[in-house]
A and B are shown apart, each in its own frame.
Chain A
Amino acid sequence: MDLSRRNFFGVMAGTGTLLAGRTQNAHAWKSKAPENPFGCLVDLTRCVGCRKCEEACNQANHLPPPDKSFENKSVFEFKRRPDESKYTVVNRYYSGTKNDQDALLPTFVKIQCMHCQDPSCVSACVVGALTKKENGAVHYDVSKCIGCRYCMVACPFEIPAYEYHNPITPHVRKCNFCFEKISQSGGVPACASICPMEAITFGHRKQLIDIARNRMKKDPGKYVHDIYGEKEVGGTSWMYISGEPFEKVGFQKLPLTPPPKLTETIQHSLFSYLWSPILLYSLLGGIMWFKNKNDRGGTHES
Chain B
Amino acid sequence: MNHNPYPLKKPFFTPGVYVMLVFMITGGVTVLARFIGGIGYVSNLTHLYPWGLWIGIDVASGVALAAGGFTTAALAHILGRHHYEPVVRPALLTAALGYTFVVLGLLVDIGRSWAIWKPMLYWNPNSVLFEVAMCVMVYLNVLYIEFIPIVTEQFKSKFSILAVLEDHLGKIMWIFVIAGVVLSCMHQSSLGSLMLIAPTKVHPLWYTPILPLLFLLSAISVGYPMVIFETTLITTSMKLDSEMDCLSPLSKITIYLLGVYMILKLGDMLVRGTYVYLLDFSAQSNSFLCEMLIGVITPWIMLCFENVRKSRKTLFFVSCLIIFGVLINRINVFIVGFKPHYSTTPYFPSIGEMLVTCGLIATLMFIYRLAVTWLPVLRAKAKKGGSS
Interface residues, chain A, with chain B CB atoms under 8 Å away: 1-3, 7, 81, 83, 120, 122-129, 144-150, 152-154, 156, 158, 160-170, 252, 254-255, 259-260, 262-264, 266-268, 271, 277, 280-281, 284-285, 287-288, 291-292, 294-295, 301-302
Would you give the shortest CB distance from A139 to chain B, in whole angstroms? Answer: 14
Q: Known: A168-B112, A260-B126, A266-B193. Is A302-B170 also a contact (CB below 8 A)?
A: no
Q: Which of B119, B127, B178, B341 contacts A124 (CB 8 A)?
A: B127
Task: Write the chain A residue with the least CB distance to B120.
Answer: A127
Q: Which residues of B contact A292 (CB under 8 A)?
A: 80
Cβ contact within 8 Å between B50 and A153:
yes
Q: Is the CB of A284 within 8 A of B74?
A: yes
Given the complex, which residues of A lie within 8 Å of B78, measured CB to CB? Answer: 284, 287-288, 291
Contact B342 A158 (CB under 8 A): yes
Encode B164-188 as 1/0 by CB contact (under 8 A) with A.
0000001101100111011101100
Name the interface size band of chain B. Answer: 35 or more
Whole-angstrom distance from the CB of A246 to the nearest CB of chain B? 13
- Known contacts A1-B173, A284-B182: does B123 contact A128 (CB below 8 Å)? yes
Q: Which of A153, A165, A287 contacts B197 (CB 8 A)?
A: A153
Q: Collect the chain B residues with CB atoms within 8 Å of residue A169's CB.
A: 112
Cα distance A165–B33 in the bound complex, in angstroms: 11
Check if A260 sits within 8 Å of B47, measured CB to CB.
no
Chain B residues with CB under 8 A of A126: 119, 124, 127, 129-130, 133
Is the CB–CB distance between B82 and A267 below 8 Å? no
Smallest Cβ-Cβ distance to B82: which chain A residue: A301
Task: List B contacts of A123 (CB < 8 A).
Answer: 126-127, 197
Cβ B47 vs Cβ A83 within 8 A: yes
Q: Is the interface of B mostly helix, strand, loop or mixed?
A: helix
Cross-chain contact B196 with A284 (CB below 8 angstroms): no
State whether A125 touches B171 (Cβ < 8 A).
no
Q: Give the residues in chain B near A165, CB-CB below 8 Å.
A: 37-38, 40-41
Residues of B within 8 A of A (CB): 34-41, 43, 45-48, 50-51, 74, 77-80, 82, 85, 109-116, 118-119, 121-131, 133, 170-171, 173-174, 177-179, 181-183, 185-186, 190, 193-201, 209, 212, 338, 340-342
Could you list 14 examples of A-B contacts with CB < 8 Å?
A2-B171, A126-B129, A144-B118, A147-B113, A147-B115, A153-B51, A162-B50, A162-B111, A165-B37, A167-B37, A259-B196, A262-B197, A285-B178, A288-B78
Q: Is the CB of A162 within 8 A of B47?
A: yes
Q: Are B129 and A148 in contact (CB under 8 A)?
A: yes
Instruction: Note all chain B residues with C-beta closer than 8 A to A266.
Output: 193, 196, 209, 212
Please measure, in the bound complex, the distance between the C-alpha atom of A291 and the C-alpha atom of B328, giving whole angstroms: 37
Asked if A263 meets B196 with Cβ closer than 8 Å, knowing A2-B170, A3-B174, A164-B38, the reply is yes
The residue on B at minimum CB distance from A81 is B342
Q: How far, in angstroms, from A291 to B79 measured CA to CA in the complex?
A: 7
Give B169 Cβ to nearest chain A Cβ, in Å. 11
Contact, CB under 8 Å: A264 / B37: no
**Contact between chains at B35 and A262 (CB < 8 Å):** no
Smallest Cβ-Cβ distance to B185: which chain A residue: A280
Q: In the complex, A226→B53 CA distance in Å?
A: 40
* Residue from the set A145, A158, A292 with the largest chain B CB neighbour count within 10 Å: A158
Bound Cα distance from A126 to B118, whole angstroms: 9
Report B-chain residues with C-beta under 8 Å of the C-beta of A145. 111-112, 115
**How far apart are the CA atoms of A153 and B200 in the complex, in Å?**
11
**How many angstroms from the CA of A41 to the CA of B197 in the assembled complex?**
26
B199:A255 contact, CB within 8 angstroms: yes
Given the interface pairs A128-B124, A158-B340, A267-B126, the reply to whether A284 lies near B80 with Cβ below 8 Å is no
Q: Which residues from B are CB-within-8-Å of A7?
A: 174
Residue numbers in B under 8 Å from A144 (CB-CB): 118, 122
A67 nearest CB across to chain B (Å): 17
Among A149, A271, A281, A302, max chain B CB count under 10 A is at A149
A277 to B43, CA, bound (A): 38
Instruction: Give chain A nearest CB distance to B129 CB in angstroms.
Output: 4
Could you say which residues of chain B place their CB within 8 Å of the CB of A254? 200
A264 to B177, CA, bound (A): 29
**A141 CB to nearest chain B CB (Å):** 9
Alpha-carbon distance A153/B129, docked complex (angstroms): 12
Contacts of B179 in A (CB 8 A): 281
- Which 3 interchain pairs have the tightest Cβ spacing? A147-B111, A164-B40, A291-B80
Q: How far is the CA of A167 from the CA of B34 in the complex (A)?
A: 7
Interface centre among A127, A152, A259 (most CB of B within 10 A): A127
A302 to B88, CA, bound (A): 12
With a CB–CB cut-off of 8 A, which chain B residues contact A263? 126, 128, 193, 196-197
